[in-house]
Chain A
């Protein structure tokens, strides 16, 4: 019995080693297979990205306007110099940052209390939640039109009607406070997104932790400050990063409501590029602008990740 038992034990050890080796091989095979299967998609995506980028870079070095498309010539970095020194560029860069910053501030400062409210057990909570989330499903063009013609219109809009009701002079939003108007519209669209992310985060907060804080004598406000806010740091980071990506390129809302004006008051980088390409028909200059926009987006992303990306680490 004894020696056989030992032999069996030795066998098992060998088998274990063999199994481990098979697993290593299997892992390698899986990786190779995985790469092979992924590569067509990666190649396609790469082409998808590189072709427009290469063409943009190519066009950005040309003097090429659609008004005079026969006469194009290579001009080097002249388009970049022109775009960057254009006074409209600095204004629209500033507008872009104001728009992004304001919308971020509004959606987070309003989204947090809204999420806290929606987390409470109120009657008809599911219906209320659906209604809060609804704006996110409305196309930007449509919502901008609704805001422009039904809500903010100085004569026939709902806001004007309310102002008249109180005997006040209605605000002519798109002339007197065009940037504020655009900010309000965009914020209205992004508020549901922020609320939704923050709400799911609140729901994942540990109930016993809150009870422990209650036993420790923490008020509702203290619990919010010391437990809930730190818990929300990560979802807020996610909201900031995702919203920034989309807010840098806001276009439809501006196009539909103010057309970038009056003057340059609501022109952001995206709209500036559009106006150069399709109002001034300057393809070369617009391409240079597009590349500048890409660089700006990367700079913003870099700083964002440096400043708040820390929150994403475990």
Chain B
């Protein structure tokens, strides 16, 4: 079991309010990703759940029990740190076994569990090496091994892949997701990378300046962002925002339209514009279109489109995929 509930959780460092009233319900077995720009309080929120920081206010429930006064080790969670935080003087075996040893498990049982965890993570040949004798990806695996061997109620990950190179990151992303599904253990995963969030999460928590902006499945966030921040943060390339006259005509403050929902044509229908930059990736074409009073709009076209800088084009938004925002930046639902 590993259900985590946050009720009105607040955290201040001195006078500075870092986490403002966080309410969240993380279901048992789900993979939840905290995503947000750097400095928004993701790590702090994760450390509050772990017990490495004390809450200023509110409650954290794990399987229905309030744990705000419970020390980290007694919460039944395990954490993978950004720096891996491996114990440098211990072998891989010692690192993975440490938690079990501290729990006072008998030696044969520790060995059995450590070897099982090592086998899961393809670490068996490295069990007697020191962390400094391992590659970045292997260290990452040891950190994960240390987390899974204790069979926790939930895993906490703090940007675990950010120190790996791009190719390895994609591979580990897949492995972590697979492992979590296989173990069916709740996972809370922090990242600033929205692609990581979209690909790994069952549910995403979008954080901004210590506030939870939206909580939902990746597709919910993509299709129905609750506000300007989420709309701009989720999706790549970023959503186009059209303020001013055009939005005014539709009776809203801002219109949002994703680059992939703008139809582009070489002759006259819709919003006129001129291509300023064209990026040809083969599979996609990204066009940056100067749209006069619309501002610069990004357009994504699937496939190759032979347009060059300077060409005149016309853009037609897909009305069903248009997002309308009021002055406060909240979405206006038109149902």
> Footprint of B on A, CB under 8 Å?
206, 208-209, 211-219, 222, 226-227, 230-231
Contact = CB atoms under 8 A, between A and B. Distances in A.
Top 8 nearest A-B pairs by Cβ distance? A217-B73, A230-B89, A216-B99, A208-B85, A212-B85, A217-B102, A208-B81, A209-B85
B188 interface: no
A185 to B, nearest CB: 36
A222 B85 contact: no
Nearest to A219: B102
Interface in B30-86: 50, 52, 71-74, 77-79, 81-83, 85-86
Nearest to B81: A208
Interface in B97-132: 98-99, 102-103
Interface in B9-48: none
Interface size class of B (residues with CB under 8 A): 20 to 34
A212 B131 CA distance: 15
B93 interface: no
A113 B102 CA distance: 23
Contact of A212 (B77, B79, B89): B79
Contacts of A208: 81-83, 85
B258 interface: no
B87 interface: yes
B52 A211 contact: yes
A214 B89 contact: no
15 contacts: A206-B83, A208-B81, A208-B83, A208-B85, A209-B88, A211-B52, A211-B81, A213-B87, A214-B71, A215-B50, A215-B78, A215-B99, A216-B98, A216-B99, A231-B89
B104 to A, nearest CB: 9
B146 interface: yes
B81 A217 contact: no
Contact of B98 (A206, A213, A219, A231): A213
A215 B79 contact: yes
A212 B73 contact: no
Given A208-B83, A209-B85, 4 more contacts: A209-B87, A215-B52, A216-B146, A217-B103
Contact of A214 (B72, B90, B146): B72
Nearest to A214: B72
Contact of B87 (A214, A215, A217, A226): A226
A219 B73 CA distance: 10
Given A206-B85, A230-B89, A214 B52 contact: yes
A215 B83 contact: no
A206 B89 CA distance: 13
A226 B98 contact: yes
Contacts of A213: 87, 98
Given A216-B98, A216-B102, A217-B99, A211 B85 contact: yes
Contact of B73 (A206, A215, A231): A215
